Structure 1
Amino acid sequence: MVLLEVIGHAAAALAFIVVIVLTVRRRQRLARTLSRNATIAYRSILGVSGVVALIHASYALESLVFNRTVSSPDPLYMALHSPALVALSVVLLFLVSVKLVAERSPRPRRILAIGAHPDDLEIACGATLAKMRDAGHSIYAMILTCGEAGGDPAIRLREAHHGARFLDVNEVEVLNFNDTELADQVNEITRAIEARIRTYQPDIILTHSAHDQHQDHLAVHQATLRAARNHSAILCYESPSVTRDFQPTFFVDIDGYLDVKIESVRTHADQRRKPYVSPERVRGIAVFRGGQAKTRYAEGFEVVRALASAVGDI
């Protein structure tokens, strides 16, 4: 009996240690799954798992050292074997083993996502980027400015990296071109994008639309088209500043990823007073584009070029 108790408690302690390790390794995915209460839930999982693992380990040690079983009336012993704790264990194991929403792609692709400001990608195509990553595609985010004209550049730089981590983007590069003055730097921006295309060799490029009244967005669109003049797959996403001429003909089904997009936009807390970052506005656009695409939620893109073999099913 003593040996069985030692083995039982040791196995339980090991199981919860595994939960802790998996939780740490899958922190970003859990954060996306658990949405706005992610931080509290994440710490709760670690805390509860750690305490339970420690108690089980102590009981295993006590049984091994003193060669006796733990008295069943012991309140901690009873708690460890309660239905509530068993249920909690199942919930914790489910959370750390939660499956991806997106199906894995049989042919992973490289995506170059280009934005003028730190929050542009999350607002315009955050759900698509998250879904692409979960499907196994690689994403390189290229941000041209620190957004100093719209907030504290140091904070916005940190938020750019935070947002990229939340979306699980492979790498993010924030350049230091002058916010609101990109129209005067199109040649320099073109060269920077050309260099990134040469080194990264993307299959698909995402960028701003030509139908955008923000001068920086339009400049980035023009620079991208120049830099990617020989590229076969360029899609233009929808920023809040697009005009009525923005007419998407390519849609990505983002059912299951809308809340991820909303949370990714929230990572840019410096911009929280902007009306277009509100969850209601983000959700409304997703519903509208979903209606156009005949699905629940969608993000829409204008197609500059889209070679079938390059785009595939993203």
Structure 2
Amino acid sequence: MLVVSLAAGVLSLLLAAAAAARTGRDLIVRRYRRGRTVRRVLVAVYATLGLGLLGHALIPHPETPHVAEAVIIAVLMALGVTIALMPHFRISTPAASTPRRVLAIGAHPDDLEIACGASLARLVDAGHDVHALVMSHGAVGGDPTRRPGEALSGARFLGLASVTVHDLPDTNLALTENQMIGHIEDAIRRIRPHIVLTHSDHDQHQDHHAVHLATLRAARNHHSILCFESPSTTRQFNPDVFLEVDDYTDIKVEAVLAHRDQSGKPYMTPSVLTSTTRFRGRQAKSTHAEAFEAVRLLVNETGVL
């Protein structure tokens, strides 16, 4: 029984560790509804059972000879319940009848996740080919040696097909408008997107506004441009397009949290992120949504909303 207890305890702790690790995040949070809660529960249950079994095996308790058997049964039951219930929590997004290409353009490494991370994940799950373009390393607002890697991590977690991070001057993007236009034009030629997402005209951050203007100029001949909402948009931000993201708010939160260099900023917190999607969901007569302003939208060409 000692060997069995030790083996069951080690197995439980390994399951807890797997759920807590990045692979667990990628598997559970990215693929299951309420994934952050599910992940926390799995870690707590398996860690508690594992520590209990190891403690009982290493510190004999003659007065409770059957505790180990009970805990082993609990481990097996927890594993069985996990296997049985997980399919019911699986995110199931209808596949698009015609997959499209999407290009999302942001000023800084965390902008896209904060503004429309849930929408990007949902579009990926529907089968669309989603690409990201970031204009700066965010050197003024954080550590430029870390932030590009965090952008790659966030994009990988969301499932984006590609992310390109340029190193134009943070807080001074307006001074490099022609370079930005060139980068965006190159991306449009390469990706041939059916829809372009970018910052709003109603954004008081100078870099966000500069990217908006550069996008309009680079995509002057493009038929479908939507502008997303960032924490620095003004009261004039007036969305007319919404995408329901009920199953994707936890995914958005986890993608934002991948930007650990920015973790001290209040708009990066789960409560702020979820309250925003809940507010926009209420406007859209749904539970959670992300909001966009349409510069123009040729519906029969986009096929992604």
Shorter-chain TM-score bucket reads 0.7 to 0.9
Residue by residue over 1:138-191, the C-alpha shift from the partner in whole angstroms, topping out at 9 and shown as x without a partner, is 111111111111111111111111111111111111111111110000111001
TM-score normalised by structure 1 residue count: 0.76
Question: Helix, strand or coil: the match of 1:150?
Answer: coil
Q: Who is 2:36 aligned against?
A: 35
What CA distance in whole angstroms lies between the structure 2 residues aligned with 1:174 and 1:163? 12
1:31/1:39 contact within 8 Å kept: no
What CA distance in whole angstroms lies between the structure 2 residues aligned with 1:175 and 1:36? 35
Q: Who is 1:145 aligned against?
A: 136
What CA distance in whole angstroms lies between the structure 2 residues aligned with 1:201 and 1:251? 23
Question: Helix, strand or coil: the match of 1:206?
Answer: strand
User: Could you say if the C-alpha distance between residues 186 and 40 of structure 1 is closer, same or farther in structure 2, counting changes exceeding 3 Å?
Assistant: farther
TM-score normalised by structure 2 residue count: 0.78
1:237/1:302 contact within 8 Å kept: yes
Structure 1 residue ranges without an equivalent (≥5) = 1-19, 49-74
What CA distance in whole angstroms lies between the structure 2 residues aligned with 1:36 and 1:176? 36
User: Could you say if the C-alpha distance between residues 83 and 39 of structure 1 is closer, same or farther in structure 2, counting changes exceeding 3 Å?
Assistant: closer
| Residues 1:178 and 2:176 aligned together | no
User: Could you say if the C-alpha distance between residues 25 and 147 of structure 1 is closer, same or farther in structure 2, counting changes exceeding 3 Å?
Assistant: closer
Q: Who is 2:158 aligned against?
A: 167
The one-letter code of the counterpart of 1:225 is L
What CA distance in whole angstroms lies between the structure 2 residues aligned with 1:118 and 1:210? 19
What CA distance in whole angstroms lies between the structure 2 residues aligned with 1:234 and 1:29? 32
Aligned residue pairs, count: 270
Q: Who is 1:281 aligned against?
A: 272
Matches within 5 A, 1:125-136: 125-136=116-127
User: Could you say if the C-alpha distance between residues 26 and 277 of structure 1 is closer, same or farther in structure 2, counting changes exceeding 3 Å?
Assistant: closer
RMSD: 3.3
Matches within 5 A, 1:1-314: 28-32=26-30, 33=32, 34-35=35-36, 38=39, 82=73, 85=76, 88-89=79-80, 91-92=82-83, 95=86, 99-314=90-305
What CA distance in whole angstroms lies between the structure 2 residues aligned with 1:125 and 1:36? 21
What CA distance in whole angstroms lies between the structure 2 residues aligned with 1:159 and 1:292? 32
Overall identity of the aligned pairs, in %:
47
What CA distance in whole angstroms lies between the structure 1 residues aligned with 2:270 and 2:24? 25
Question: Helix, strand or coil: the match of 2:294?
Answer: strand
Quote how far apart the aligned CAs of 1:274 are. 1.1
Structure 2 residue ranges without an equivalent (≥5) = 1-17, 50-65
Question: Helix, strand or coil: the match of 1:154?
Answer: coil
1:28/1:168 contact within 8 Å kept: no
Question: Helix, strand or coil: the match of 1:310?
Answer: helix
The one-letter code of the counterpart of 1:300 is A
What CA distance in whole angstroms lies between the structure 1 residues aligned with 2:37 and 2:151? 18
Poorly superposed stretches of 4+, deviation over 6 Å:
24-27
Question: Helix, strand or coil: the match of 1:235?
Answer: strand
Quote how far apart the aligned CAs of 1:95 are. 3.8
Question: Helix, strand or coil: the match of 2:156?
Answer: helix
